[in-house]
A = this chain, B = another copy of it.
Amino acid sequence: MSTSPSSLGATVAGIGEVLQLFRSRPSLTRADVIHLTGLSRSTVNQRIELLVGAELVVPSGEGTPTGGRPASRFTFHYQRGVLLVADIGATGMRTALCDLLGNVKDERERAIDVAAGPDPVLTAAHVMFGELLTAAGRTPQEVFGIGIGVPGPVDFDSRQVVSPPIMSGWDRYDIPGWFADKYSCAVLVDKDVNAMAFGEQRIVYPDVRQMLMVKAGTGIGAGMVLGGEIYRGADGAAGDIGHIQVTVDDAADEPICRCGNTGCVEAYAGGWALVRDLRAAGKEVTTVDDAVALIRTGDTAAVRLARRAGRIIGHAIADSVSLVNPRVVVIGGQLARIEEQLFAGIREMVYRRSLPLATRNLQIVATRLDNRSGLVGLALLLADRIFAPDRVEALVAST
């Protein structure tokens, strides 16, 4: 509630706030901007002139100047440049080229192995970025920002991957540095599931302020939008629900997790654990996709494992619901495709364990963006970051 005096000094709408108005609307007249900001006509004219000079705002179709009259209606120049994003998973990567509003215009997908280390993976992203730029008729100079999502914890301020359990060779790796001689633009790095949470919230649940996004894929992780913003915690480690310890009655021994501990949620219910258990039961599965396909055929042993995984993931979600009381829990990742079998177990545990107050208005749903929420979220996050009000002044000065 307290407002620090220094932030008060910045409350008069600057050029960044004016650009923000254009980003959130199709077009605006000078009078609209005066009305919305309370700024004087001369100040509004000066700010719009600077934004037009930087080609971030352009005169729009209606109200185009005729007979020497200055343009009265303007629009954000979202085609002024492009954004490139790469959502790196454990075994696959999706990349996209987006406009400056964060709309995905073109995308590519290919298999990778994140454990091969940063250089081969980032090289693959760079190749795909080149293909996307060529297809769009764009140059590297037109790239305003790059967004990279990774399947591990990120120290958001230093933009480094930190102590990732499954990303060997990535600890403290300088991802922005890798791109520095290829593009002269901002590089944002975030945890994949944070981007997924942001994409899902912004596109599907714009009015929801508290959302928990669970990625149930090879591993299990969570991202949160709290108070309408991505919540990362003190060190970027928030949302680590895959390594919450659970006790499972029918397990003889606690399975060993990839993190080195025993009894973690993902050691029972992650995609890799399902593959392990299905193989132990004599099933011919190699990948998480194989496991998902087998479960969807209705194979009895596989379905039983899926229901058990649902209850175990549900245990971690119930704890999370008790702690952060979200309005919506969204389940994404490959395992979300076995919705029926998984969700019954999840809902059973959440409604059994969490306070009625926390569940009376709770929705537990599958992702509506399928496997694109990470890509979509990265693009929106990147656009917000590049055009954050406090950065626009420098952006205008540099163009």
Interface of A toward B, CB cutoff 8 Å? 1-5, 8-9, 11-13, 17, 20-21, 24-25, 36-38, 153, 155, 162-163, 209-210, 222, 226-227, 229, 231-241, 243-247, 259, 261, 315, 318-320, 322-327, 352-358, 360-362, 381, 384-385, 388-389
CB pair A235–B358 under 8 Å, yes or no, is: yes
State how many angstroms separate the Cβ of A203 from the closest Cβ of chain B: 13
Given contacts A233-B325, A235-B325, 12 further A-B contacts (CB under 8 A): A1-B385, A5-B21, A8-B20, A210-B234, A234-B325, A235-B357, A237-B357, A238-B323, A240-B358, A245-B319, A319-B323, A324-B324
Neighbouring B residues of A9 by C-beta, 8 Å: 36-38
A227-B227, A244-B322, A245-B353 known; A384-B1 Cβ under 8 A:
yes
Q: A8-B13, A13-B11, A357-B163 are in contact. Are A1 and B229 (CB under 8 A)?
A: yes
> In the complex, what distance in Å separates the CA atom of A234 from the CA atom of B247?
29
Q: Which of B8, B37, B210 contacts A233 (CB 8 A)?
A: B210
Min CB distance A146 to B, Å, is 17
**With A226-B226, A247-B247 known to touch, is A234 a contact of B327 (CB < 8 Å)?**
yes
CA distance A2 to B389 in the complex (A): 9
> A262 to chain B: closest CB distance in Å?
10
Q: Which residues of B contact A358 (CB under 8 A)?
A: 233-235, 237, 240
What are 16 A-B pairs at a CB distance below 8 A? A1-B381, A2-B24, A2-B384, A3-B17, A12-B12, A12-B13, A12-B38, A163-B355, A226-B226, A234-B362, A235-B360, A236-B357, A241-B322, A241-B323, A319-B319, A323-B324
Closest CB in chain B relative to A156 CB, distance in Å: 11
Query: Could you tell me if B240 and A323 are in contact, using CB atoms closer than 8 angstroms?
Result: yes
Q: In the complex, A21→B8 CA distance in Å? A: 9
Contact, CB under 8 Å: B2 / A20? yes
In-complex Cβ contact of A388 among B1, B21, B352, B357 (8 A): B1
- The count of identical subunits is 2
CB distance A17 to B21 under 8 Å?
A: no
A94 to chain B, nearest CB (A): 23
Nearest CB on B from A303, distance (A) = 25
Chain A interface, >50% SS class? loop
**What B residues does A360 contact at CB under 8 A?**
235
Most buried by B among A2, A247, A326: A2
Interchain CA distance A239-B37 in the complex, whole Å:
38
Q: A153-B357, A209-B234 are in contact. Are A243 and B13 (CB under 8 A)?
A: no
Q: Are B354 and A240 in contact (CB under 8 A)?
A: yes
Distance in angstroms between the alpha carbons of A244 and B232 in the assembled complex? 22
| Nearest chain B residue, comparing its CB with the CB of A315 | B245
Residue of B nearest to A32 (CB): B5
Residue in B4, B11, B385 whose CB lies within 8 Å of A11: B11
- Cβ distance A357 to chain B, nearest Cβ, rounded Å: 4
Q: How distant is the Cα of A389 from the Cα of B7 in the complex, in angstroms? A: 14
A12 interface neighbour in B11, B233, B356, Cβ under 8 Å? B11
Compute how far the CA of A237 lies from the CA of B326 in the bound complex, rounded to whole angstroms: 9
Question: In the assembly, what is the distance between CA of A361 and CA of B157, in Å?
Answer: 15
What residues of chain B lie closer than 8 Å to A389, measured between beta carbons?
3
Closest to A230 in B: B1
Please indicate which of the listed interface residues A21, A24, A153, A244 has the most CB atoms of chain B within 10 Å of its own CB.
A244
Q: What are the residues of chain B within 8 A of A222 when measuring CB–CB?
A: 323
Q: Are A231 and B238 in contact (CB under 8 A)?
A: no
Please name all residues of chain B whose beta carbon is closer than 8 Å to the beta carbon of A246 when the two chains form the complex: 247
* A355 engages B237 (CB within 8 Å): yes
Question: Which of A20, A261, A319, A361 is the most central at the interface, judged by chain B CB atoms within 10 Å of its CB?
Answer: A319
